[in-house]
Amino acid sequence: MTGLGMAVPAQAHQDELWRGFFVNRYAGTTRALAERIFANAGVRTRNAVANPLIEDVSGWPTERRMTRYLVEALPLGKEAVDRALVDAGVSAADIGLFAVCSCTGYVTPGLDILLARDMGMASDTQRLFVGHMGCYAAMPGIGAAADFVTARGRPALLLCNELTSLHLQPASARVDTQQIVAHALFSDAAAAVVLVPGDTGGYTVREVASITDTSTADHMTWDVTDLGFRMGLSPRVPQVLSVHVRDFIDGLLSRHELVLSDVDGWAVHPGGPRILNVVERELALPPDALGVSRETLATYGNCSSPTVLLILEAMRQLPDPPRRVVTLAFGPGLTLYAALLERT
């Protein structure tokens, strides 16, 4: 992984979003509950193509949201891709595989075709679109890109592009804690990464691994409705993670004759403060191990699939970047995905 690029729309402050918009959607005890959730979400600022302080899209039909998705996602993705290519010193014409992850919009021709055209990729560039995998999608995307690079000896490019702000849901008369949590956490971003063959610097992908507990498939959902996509987020998700995460990570590391103490970088998807607390506790990590993940949540919110790449980019900018990094994310399934990366 030799080049990373990111792009975000205009910034919004969490407290301003609460005071200027969301506080008026709730009343009585529900308002008090929502205020606590917003205050304790671990989010300081977020980014949105559809800032509710400027425009309320909660009543928009899905068709209108999808039209807006293409208008906003295309330039945002182009910016992230361009920055990743420049960072890697790779030409768009040299890309052999272009993979795109997104669960917040559907258009055909898709971002993979339109961006390949606009960025000057070759006509024989292979394309892969990964949809509806949610927050962990970057990892299977990295796995597919790394496999292509290994098998074909050509560079690959992965783009994760999510616009969750387009799926603001209408206010409800009943208490809907799951929607309050979703509205308090999610944000918009695009992030791209270039993978090339050989040890040319950057991070080598040693392994991508996953585990899925299908008995908890209803704990995290993303349903297409007439009013956009609706998040379902069970409060039992951290409990499920606590059951699986230690054995899963121990197994990944043991296959490379490593243990937890050999890892000096943890890029854990911040699905929320409770998620990070569970991972920290179950892996017995030192207090500062998830500092970059927590700061990413505070600065950008939960951006779904691009978030892990945002964390990796922040780690690369540290005075002494970590040598071994484990990326870890969670999503529908319930699925845990991880990648072991090593700086070369």
Which active-site residues does the annotation give? 135
Separation of alpha carbons 311 and 99, rounded Å: 20
Does a cis peptide bond (omega within 30 degrees of 0) precede residue 270?
no
